[in-house]
Amino acid sequence: MLELLILYILNKYDCTIYKIQKLIEEMFFIFSCPSLGAINPALKRLENLGCVEFTSFMSEGGKLSKTYKITPFGLKYLKETVSLFDFKNQAYMLNNAKVCISISDVLDSEQKEKFNFIVQNRLKILKTDIENKLNNPYILYTKTQKDILGATIVEIDEILKFLN
């Protein structure tokens, strides 16, 4: 997911690693707050894939710095990865869906339509699974657990309304 956020940022701005970190914290603080130690290897992976490139320069303090930018392949990779994102892991599905929805403005209309269809179906499956588990008399949830699961169903319904 971090790679998608980096590509999304670089699609809008050419940035140093520090600026990438700051923008992710500002724009996606509720979903991700990566350290430079996480961003640097992600940038290396993206560079090895051909998704990003950089130019080096000397900063005012005399340190060698890099400004990263997205490549045309990187933009294509971002769009394809978002539009076909795999939402199978239920533990992260809701958070990942919110992140992908929030960066889906990079998609063209056909990709967005396909993306919305996938997300809606995955969220409906998750909602049904939660409802089935809540109605299973053999699962002994506490009141708090039931309330949290119920709130998750409401959250899923709100996202589904948003996508329609």
Give the CATH number, domain containing residue 75.
1.10.10.10
Contact call for residues 51 and 62 (beta carbons, < 8 A): no
Burial of 12 (0-12, 13-18, 19+ CB in 10 A): exposed
Which residues partner with 54 through β-bridges?
Answer: 68
Is the model's pLDDT at 91 over the cut of 90?
no
Residue 85, pLDDT score: 78
pLDDT band at 149 (very low <50, low <70, confident <90, very high): very high
Number of domains in the chain: 2
Residue 121, pLDDT score: 92
What percent of the chain has a predicted confidence (pLDDT) above 70? 100
Domain that holds residue 30: 2-79
Residue 3, pLDDT score: 93
Q: What is the DSSP letter of 146?
A: H
* 90 and 132 together in one domain: yes
Distance of alpha carbon 57 from alpha carbon 142, whole angstroms: 58
* 94 and 66 together in one domain: no
Reported as a single tens digit per residue, the pLDDT across 19-76 is 999 999 999 988 888 998 999 999 999 999 999 999 988 877 788 888 999 999 999 9
